[in-house]
Structures are given as structure tokens and as C-alpha cells.
Structure 1
Amino acid sequence: MTGSRPQRQYGAGRKKGVRRSSMRLLKKSWVCYLFILPMIIYIVLFNYLPMYGIQLAFKDYRALDGIWGSPWVGWKHFQTFFGSYQFKDLLWNTLALSIYSLAAGFPLPILFALFLNYVTNSKGRKAAQMITYAPHFISTVVFCGMILIFLASDGIVNQILALLGIEPVAFLSNPKNFRHIYVWSGVLQSIGWGSIMYISVLASVGPELHEAARVDGATKFQRMLYIDIPSIVPTMVIMLIMRAGEIMDVGFEKAFLLQNSVNLDYSEIISTYVYKIGIQSGQFSYSAAIGLFNNIINLILLLAVNRIAGKASDVSLW
């Protein structure tokens, strides 16, 4: 007993020392913490407080009774969604669109960054960056309007095809074209912006590595294969993990704006269905259950891909 007292006193003293050093650091760097305060408030307001509404998925919400006063119904809304005739179509459309977007949109910014890394003409490089970055700053509403105008039966694309002697293509009236239009227009809008992170990593690669490779007679392709790609692999893995956590979160705005009665069988995804059921039809509990299911699937995919990446490449989010 007597021997344990000094240890306890030492532990308590150590904790006090840690608190004092933390307070000193806080006072010294209070300006930095002040800068991140708006971000913390934003995350709390829009990411943590809305979790209070998750209980709607397990209740039969009534506006007069409020969230707490509404009766519990358990898994009723989940069973209704899983048993509906639309469940398989919604799930397939969401997965098909998301996986297609991932397969096309993930590697192309990497290839574009590798290409720009070997462009020696500074003016040409800046022009390519400006042209590819610009679509990212166009709002989704405007961008979708441009797509509808360009791909109309009398739009610019069909006019160019007519000048080349090619018959006009029914881009918008063929529902099977929806996924291709959605994905490749997204690639066009994001390829430049998505390459910024890879370009910054490639810029940090030591020039002595490339100089040594040139002395050894390595070609540009070999330098790219053995120097550049290994340097961006950790970034690629992190970005892939983050994209995997968004598999079920296909962009609602774009899908909804490009949606019409013709392509509804291909364009109706979970996010647009939740909007129609929750906002337009007022079935708040049912839409909350579908949204919760969507987020749980995303969380499972994120954890699974993160674990696989951690074992395969020793790179993970935590």
C-alpha cells in the first residue's frame, strides 16, 4: 500500500503536467484554433446534430406529435423497402451508375496528371490546366442545361455530325444512353480538378531520381512506371478508399436534372427516390429508413476497402 502511493502521486502529477502543456499550447496557438472553429461548428451543425433524426427511420412520424412523440414501428419501413418491387431496380441503377463512374473517373485524372508532368511547354501546360479546370466551377444546374442543349436532336453535337455526313444520334431519347452521358460528362467536368492532388505529389518527387534514371538510359515510360507511379500510390489508395465510401451516394442533383420520363428506368436511383418519397410525398419516416440503409452500406464498404488496402499496401485512413 505504501509503495503504491508514490506511483499514484506521480501519475496524477504527470496528468497535471500534460494539462498544463496543453493549455500553454492552446494559448500560444489560439489563432490557429480560431481559424478551424467555423469548420468545427459547420461539422457539428450539419453532420452530428442531424443524427438526432435517425430515429425517424424506426418511427411512424406525425408532424403534430413531433419526433419524440411519434410511435415506434421498429423495422417496418426497412421491410417495406426491401419488399417493394422497386428495390432491385433502384439498387442496380445506383450501383451500376456508381461503379461505372468509379471505373471511368478514378484512373483518368491520374493519367492526366502523369501526362501533364511530362509536358515541358509551360504555356501548353497552363492552357491544358485552365481548360480542364474550368468545367469544375460550372454549377451542376448550368452544366446539365448545357448537356441537354448540346445533345438535343438539333443541338451542336448533331449539327457537327451532320456537317461530317453522319446521321443525327438520338442521345436523349434513347434511355440506354443515360449512364454514358452521366458518367462521361462527369469525367469531363472533374478530370482537371481531380488531377490537382496527383500533380502536387508528382511535383514533390526529387529531381535527382529522374536525373539518375536518365543517366541509366531510362525512357519516359520507364521513369513514369518506376518513379512517378510508386510516388502517388499512397495518394491513389487513400482516394480509392474515400471513393469506395461514396459508392451508394451517386450525385442526386445531376441524376435528377437529367432525368425524364423516357430514361426513368435507368435514371431512378436511391437518392432521387428518397427525394420523391420524402419531400414530394411527405413519407418522412420511409425516406429516412432508405437513407439510413444507404449510409450503412457506404460505411460497410468504407471499412472493408480500408481494411483490404491496409493489409495490401500498408496505407489506410487510420
Structure 2
Amino acid sequence: MKRNNKAGGRSSKSGLWNTMRQYKYHYLMVLPVIVWYILFSYLPMYGITLSFKTFDFSKGILGSPWVGFQHFREISHDPEFWSAFKNTVIISLSKLVIHFPLPIILAMVMNEFSRTKARKFFQTLFTFPHFISWVVLAGILTNIFSNDGVYIQLMTMLGFDASSPLVSVQGFRPMIYLSHVWKEIGWDSIIYMAALTGINPELYEAAEMDGASRLQRLRYIAWPGIKSTVAILFILTIGNLLSLGSSFEQIFNLYSSPVYSVADTIDTYVYRTTFTVGADFGYMTAVGLIKSAISLVLLVLANMTVKKMGEQGLY
């Protein structure tokens, strides 16, 4: 039996090497990605130890003194952290509810265009804002919604007592949601458009011959064709929920002290506190570790939920 196990192990190893030699160019194409993840995702993980240390510049990360769970106890009593955590959850869930379905709807609507030129025109129109950086877009929004901007002047001319949403506790979040949808809806719809183009066109022709309406074709052909793609992207979105994706750049370039109570998220809180106030790096690393742990739990729960619904998860 031992000889058979050894022989089986050798044959499996030789089979693996034969497969790698056969597809060596495919592995070479993947190699830069693997190296990138090793250098920038796995090697820096030793910095997590700062969560349990008080950082000393003279001793470095590894030589800094251990303080155990002191930073986590301080976080549990920090009202600014809990305010940022609450804002992160509210903004993330609101964006998920408002934004996530819209690229799917847009892709399905554009897929129904019979004219290719019209489809390309609207796809370009909706995708173009993605390539405007949040720094530039924040400058444009600041000029529009400032006290001397077009929005305030127009509202004043119409007889309304308007205030800038940039400094309004009630108006800041809606502006964040609307500007995010305007900027990203076209870009996020591209992957759904690609999934829709993979559906066999004969299914549409057969359904049309059977008298199916356009809404029925969307429901029984288009939606089942992209449902697995939607499930995968939903899992990834949930896993990235607390990170807010590109929202750090969006909020950081738009918010100010009057709206900290509704706009300060975990990422902006860490950045602002670390580089403005000069807080302990160990404390901020502990905040990031808590956020990553919660994101991992959300990712696992989302994957389990999708698999229970009959779709294939990430693993």
C-alpha cells in the first residue's frame, strides 16, 4: 500500500508538471498577477501586528512594544469611530440598494436596442463619466453647489431658500448617491452587457415567434442568462461593502467639517485622524483590522446566501 501511495504521489506530481509545461505560456501570463499579489497583498500582512503594538519609529514595526488588546478596548469606547462606522454602514447599504440594480436594468434595456449605433451611442454616453476622476468631478460639483454657484443662484431666482448640499446634513448623502450613480452606472453595466451578448440569439427568435412580449423575453431569457453574473458581483459587492470602493475619493474630496456627522466613514476617519491629528498607527491599524474582519464575515455570509438560492458562489 505504501508503494502504491508513493507511486500515486509521483504520478500526480509528474502529471502536474506535465500540465504546467503544456500550458507554460498561460502560467507566464498569470505570473505578473501572482507576483503583484505577493508583493502588495501578502507580504505587507506582517503590518497587522501593529494592531497589538504601540508603534515606535526608532524600533520599527517588529521592534515596537506589545500592548495586547489595548487598542481594541479604546476603539470600543471611541464615539468618533462608532459614528464613522454607522455612517459607513448607512452609506454602503444605501448605495447597494440604489445603485446595484441600476446597471443591470440599464444593460437589459440597451440590449433591447435594435440599432447598433444607438446602443453604442448610449453606452458611450453612460460610460464616459467613469473616466472623470473624483478630484476633477469634486471641483465641478463644488463650483455648481457653492454659495456663488449656479444651483444657489437658480434657486434664489425661483424664490426658494436653498442651501448648498455640500454643507447640508440633509442634502450631502443624496448628492453622494446621485453623483455615484451618474459616474459609475455605465461602467458597471459593461459586464452585464457582455453576459447578455453571450446568450444564444436563437432563443430570442424562438420566443418572438411564439408571441412572447419584450418584457417576457427579458424575464425568461435575459435575466436567467445573467443571473449567475449578478450573483458573483453581488458577493464581491457585499465583501467590499465597508470599503465603499471608490467612495473614499468621492467623500474625501467633497466633505467638510459641517457634514462630518453624516459623511465621515471609516476610511476617511482613519486618514483624517492619522495624517491630521497624528494618532497612533497601532490604533488605526486595529481599526482597519476590525473592518477587514467584518468584511470577511460579510463575504462568507453573502456566498452562503447565494449558494442557498441555487446559484454558484465564489467557492
Calculate the TM-score normalised by the size of structure 2. Answer: 0.92
Residue 106 of structure 1: aligned partner: 100
In the TM superposition, what whole-angstrom CA distance separates every residue of 1:98-156 from its partner, at most 9, and x where no partner exists? 11111111000000001101112322222111111111111121111112122223434
Residue 129 of structure 1: aligned partner: 123
Q: Secondary structure at the match of 1:175?
A: coil
Q: Pairwise mapping of residues 103-182 of structure 1 onto structure 2 (< 5 A)?
A: 103-158=97-152, 165=158, 167=160, 169-170=162-163, 171-182=165-176
**Any unmatched runs of 5+ in structure 2?**
none
Residue 7 of structure 2: aligned partner: 10
Residue 305 of structure 2: aligned partner: 308
Q: Pairwise mapping of residues 221-260 of structure 1 onto structure 2 (< 5 A)?
A: 221-250=215-244, 251-260=247-256
Match of 2:210 among 188, 209, 216: 216
- Distance in 2, matches of 1:270 and 1:192, equals 27
Q: Pairwise mapping of residues 33-48 of structure 1 onto structure 2 (< 5 A)?
A: 33-48=27-42
User: Contact between 2:54 and 2:280, CA under 8 Å: does it hold in 1?
Assistant: no
- Distance in 2, matches of 1:188 and 1:12, equals 56
> Is 1:297 the counterpart of 2:291 in the alignment?
no
User: Contact between 1:176 and 1:263, CA under 8 Å: does it hold in 2?
Assistant: no
In the TM superposition, what whole-angstrom CA distance separates every residue of 1:195-225 from its partner, at most 9, and x where no partner exists? 0011111111111111111111111011101
| Change in CA separation of 1:199 and 1:78 when aligned onto 2, cut-off 3 Å | same
Residue 261 of structure 2: aligned partner: 265
> Is 1:201 the counterpart of 2:195 in the alignment?
yes
User: Contact between 2:156 and 2:162, CA under 8 Å: does it hold in 1?
Assistant: no
Q: Secondary structure at the match of 2:171?
A: helix
> Is 1:64 the counterpart of 2:58 in the alignment?
yes
- Distance in 2, matches of 1:70 and 1:5, equals 49
Match of 2:270 among 268, 274, 279: 274
Match of 1:22 among 19, 22, 30: 19
Give 1:49 shift. Answer: 1.3
Q: Identity percentage over the alignment? A: 36
Q: How many residues align?
A: 311
Give 1:286's aligned amino acid: Y
| Change in CA separation of 1:208 and 1:168 when aligned onto 2, cut-off 3 Å | farther
| Change in CA separation of 1:246 and 1:20 when aligned onto 2, cut-off 3 Å | closer
Q: Secondary structure at the match of 1:176?
A: coil
| Change in CA separation of 1:166 and 1:241 when aligned onto 2, cut-off 3 Å | farther
User: Contact between 2:52 and 2:67, CA under 8 Å: does it hold in 1?
Assistant: yes
| Change in CA separation of 1:82 and 1:182 when aligned onto 2, cut-off 3 Å | same
- Distance in 1, matches of 2:299 and 2:20, equals 36
Give 1:9 shift. Answer: 5.3
User: Contact between 1:133 and 1:190, CA under 8 Å: does it hold in 2?
Assistant: yes
- Distance in 1, matches of 2:49 and 2:2, equals 48
Give 2:147's aligned amino acid: S
- Distance in 2, matches of 1:192 and 1:201, equals 15
| Change in CA separation of 1:12 and 1:180 when aligned onto 2, cut-off 3 Å | closer
In the TM superposition, what whole-angstrom CA distance separates every residue of 1:276-310 from its partner, at most 9, and x where no partner exists? 22233141000000010011100000001101111
Calculate the TM-score normalised by the size of structure 1. Answer: 0.92
User: Contact between 1:152 and 1:158, CA under 8 Å: does it hold in 2?
Assistant: yes
Which segment is superposed worse, 122-131 or 46-55?
122-131
Give 1:227 shift. Answer: 0.8
User: Contact between 2:99 and 2:181, CA under 8 Å: does it hold in 1?
Assistant: yes
In the TM superposition, what whole-angstrom CA distance separates every residue of 1:62-120 from its partner, at most 9, and x where no partner exists? 11111121111111101101111223311110100111111111000000001101112
| Change in CA separation of 1:19 and 1:101 when aligned onto 2, cut-off 3 Å | closer
**Any unmatched runs of 5+ in structure 1?**
none
